[in-house]
Structure 1
Amino acid sequence: MSQVSIEDIEAARHRIERHIRRTPCEPSASLRGLAGQPVHLKFEHHQFTGSFKMRGATNAVEQLSQAERARGVIGASTGNHGRALAFAARRAGVHCVICMSALVPKNKVEAIAAEGAEIRIVGRSQDDAQEEVDRLVKEEGMVMVPPFDDARVIAGQGTLGLELLEDVPDLAVALVQLSGGGLISGVAAALKARKPDIRVVGITMARGAAMHASLAAGKPVSVEELPTLADSLGGGIGLGNRHTFSMVRDLVDDVVLLSEEEIADGVRHAYWRERQVVEGGGVVGISALLHGYIRPEGPVAAILTGASIDMNVHHRLISGENVDLMQEAF
């Protein structure tokens, strides 16, 4: 039984609908030709702040008490959650601190700072950043809004699932990013409550896939974080994971791991064929279709989750360059 119900997700939708953009879901002629079935792309990279994270962060901030608002909010982020939380907090008049590791790309750090948040760069992993969050919660009384393992955040992300089914009523397969599990837990809970036979497939990078390793181990485990084109999918799931590990285990039908080259192909396809600028973590559904990992028996939807890509890296990718961020980092 999932810890976040369809009623929680519907309540979240009512709570956040005036604060977020209902993003379009567009058919892809080129991907339909590859898949042999209708393929729809959910343009969540057109969301305010450039990613789906606006939904969960807004749902969490909107539920803060007056006392909690006075104490301020804090979160660890690989970029997109931080920007969304900073945006939602600024709009609500709440002080916000975002902790990130040194692996978070500069463009994402700058975007969060532009939203008015206080930035802390700590260590070289999401776990290092989380330690600083825990310290400030304990010592200064700030209110933590986690990037994924939080019922309010999961319910907010789940509103995407409600929209997908409205836009594609005969949906058979949903391709959803798999990282800490907040997005896929919420989307899967929404989809399967409405249509239990929908297949939900988690897509992630092969380089440091924490949830995939945890599922294989039967419990949350740590993995080494490594530079990847899908940087928004990096980070651990937390050894004390309370929600997303069990929800992913119970609700997700399959997991696909992608190489860096396959992710790069997705970025190129999104640009040249769909005319969309999408970050590496945002194109993994496209990448899985391009490389034949998904052989659907009905309509497919893939979420384009974010647009926060370093435009210099994007230019190199769409120009055909083989970009390996691991080699460039060391």
Structure 2
Amino acid sequence: MKQTNFYLPTIADVWTAAGRIYPVVSETPIVASPLAAKLSGATSIGLKLELLQPTGSFKVRGAANTILSLTDAEKARGVITFSTGNHGRAVSYVAHQVGVKAVVCLSKRVPAYRVEAIKELGGTPVVHGASQDEAEDHYAVLKEEQGLVPVVPFDDPRVVAGQGTISLEILRQNPSVDTLLVPLSGGGLLSGIAMAIKALKPSVRVIGISIERSPAMLESLKIGRPADIEEKDTLADSLLGGIGRENHVTMELVKRHVDEHVLVDEQDIEEGMRYLFHQHGLVAEGAASVGLAAILTGKVDVRGCNVVMPLTGRNVDIARFLSVIAKGETR
């Protein structure tokens, strides 16, 4: 992925994003989860409902900040991205809102319902390769061949700054927050949230939640460069994929600003999904459930803490979701 406009975004970039994105992005509420607080010993647990965004996930923030910052000449060329689904939806949605062509490269591992959703939102999906990295390779080819403007899923300062606007909302809605639990894959969400919250309230403890079946950022941090991770089927399919063939932004920000890391497995994720459905009536995808999964299974200590976690998306295959719910009811 050859791109030259890399820099580490700051809180100033987040404020700029906040002044740009809200014509197409919603400010999402935080709802309390008293049972989770009681079970974990937390003072409070708040769920920030990013799954209420118009595309069903937080990804619209970064996509909006990037696309709305393009020049008219860049918009006329059209945009291209690679995605496991939710970023592709977001790019398709925002591009359609402003009359821009959008091409989305996806691997064969991306569920068919996500590919169809991209079409419905006005994007052009291109399915290629057996992994996120192979989809990224094809994206690089098409980008050059067709002269399209890249809108990458995570490793871009504009995307990171857009995701960081979540921290501005959290501090405004719940100024007593002292702990954040954030899903981690390529790091766009976690790095943006962590960078922004540490700039405004450095005492906040930031915990990244990765899945055992694709801990790409954790493995990359261990070896000091982007790691090749075998992709396996998971309920948290939005967290599949590596951190890019190269990584210029998110890995460094995660290293600087994230205090702890936790791994959750498939059974943990199921518990989180069932809790959100039974206690809050929410249909949440596996990736959105990893924070609660870590709390409910005791993998993170939040005793006495004021916790907030973003519920990152609702774009789940409904048959698979119902299977998870039914599985819990037969135990």
TM-score when scaled to structure 1? 0.95
What is the match of residue 239 of structure 1? 245
- Give runs of ≥4 in structure 1 deviating > 6 Å: none
Separation in structure 2 between the aligned mates of residue 320 and residue 274 of structure 1, nearest angstrom:
18
Task: Give 1:321 shift.
Answer: 6.0
Matched, 1:29 2:34: yes
Provide the alpha-carbon RMSD of the alignment.
1.2
Task: Write the letter of the residue equivalent to 1:229.
Answer: L
Task: Give 1:35 shift.
Answer: 2.1
Separation in structure 1 between the aligned mates of residue 173 and residue 10 of structure 2, nearest angstrom:
21
Instruction: Please say if residues 236 and 287 of structure 2, whose CA atoms lie closer than 8 Å, have aligned partners that are also in contact.
Output: yes
Task: Give 1:34 shift.
Answer: 1.4
- Which secondary structure state, in structure 2, belongs to the residue aligned with residue 273 of structure 1? helix
What is the match of residue 176 of structure 1? 182
Separation in structure 2 between the aligned mates of residue 112 and residue 194 of structure 1, nearest angstrom:
36
Task: Write the letter of the residue equivalent to 2:10.
Answer: S
What is the match of residue 4 of structure 2? none
Separation in structure 2 between the aligned mates of residue 240 and residue 310 of structure 1, nearest angstrom:
31
Task: Write the letter of the residue equivalent to 2:325.
Answer: I
Separation in structure 2 between the aligned mates of residue 223 and residue 269 of structure 1, nearest angstrom:
29
Task: Give 1:18 shift.
Answer: 2.2
Separation in structure 2 between the aligned mates of residue 270 and residue 185 of structure 1, nearest angstrom:
25
Identity %: 44
- Which secondary structure state, in structure 2, belongs to the residue aligned with residue 174 of structure 1? strand
- Which secondary structure state, in structure 1, belongs to the residue aligned with residue 225 of structure 2? coil
Task: Give 1:137 shift.
Answer: 1.4
Task: Give 1:300 shift.
Answer: 0.4
What is the match of residue 63 of structure 2? 57
TM-score when scaled to structure 2? 0.95
Separation in structure 2 between the aligned mates of residue 19 and residue 123 of structure 1, nearest angstrom:
31
Task: Give 1:320 shift.
Answer: 1.5
Separation in structure 1 between the aligned mates of residue 13 and residue 31 of structure 2, nearest angstrom:
27
Task: Write the letter of the residue equivalent to 2:37.
Answer: R
Separation in structure 2 between the aligned mates of residue 274 and residue 191 of structure 1, nearest angstrom:
27
Matched, 1:256 2:254: no
What is the match of residue 9 of structure 1? 14
Task: Write the letter of the residue equivalent to 1:6.
Answer: I
- Which secondary structure state, in structure 2, belongs to the residue aligned with residue 202 of structure 1? strand
Per-residue CA deviations over 1:81-123 (Å, capped at 9, x if unaligned) read 0000000000110001000001111111111110111111011
What 5-or-longer segments of structure 1 have no aligned partner?
Answer: 323-330
Matched, 1:301 2:302: no
Matched, 1:210 2:216: yes
Q: How does 1:133-148 map onto structure 2 within 5 Å? A: 133-148=139-154
Task: Write the letter of the residue equivalent to 1:162.
Answer: L
Task: Give 1:218 shift.
Answer: 2.1
Matched, 1:275 2:281: yes
- Which secondary structure state, in structure 2, belongs to the residue aligned with residue 248 of structure 1? helix
Matched, 1:228 2:234: yes
Matched, 1:290 2:306: no
Instruction: Please say if residues 179 and 306 of structure 2, whose CA atoms lie closer than 8 Å, have aligned partners that are also in contact.
Output: yes
Q: How does 1:53-202 map onto structure 2 within 5 Å? A: 53-202=59-208
The answer to which of 57-66 and 216-225 deviates more is 216-225
The number of equivalent residue pairs is 321
Task: Give 1:67 shift.
Answer: 1.2
Question: Compared with structure 1, are the counterparts of its residues 300 and 321 closer, same or farther at alpha carbon in structure 2 (3 Å cutoff)?
Answer: closer
What is the match of residue 314 of structure 1? 321
Task: Give 1:44 shift.
Answer: 0.5
Instruction: Please say if residues 67 and 95 of structure 2, whose CA atoms lie closer than 8 Å, have aligned partners that are also in contact.
Output: yes
- Which secondary structure state, in structure 2, belongs to the residue aligned with residue 39 of structure 1? strand
What is the match of residue 326 of structure 1? none
Task: Give 1:74 shift.
Answer: 0.4
What 5-or-longer segments of structure 2 have no aligned partner?
Answer: 1-6
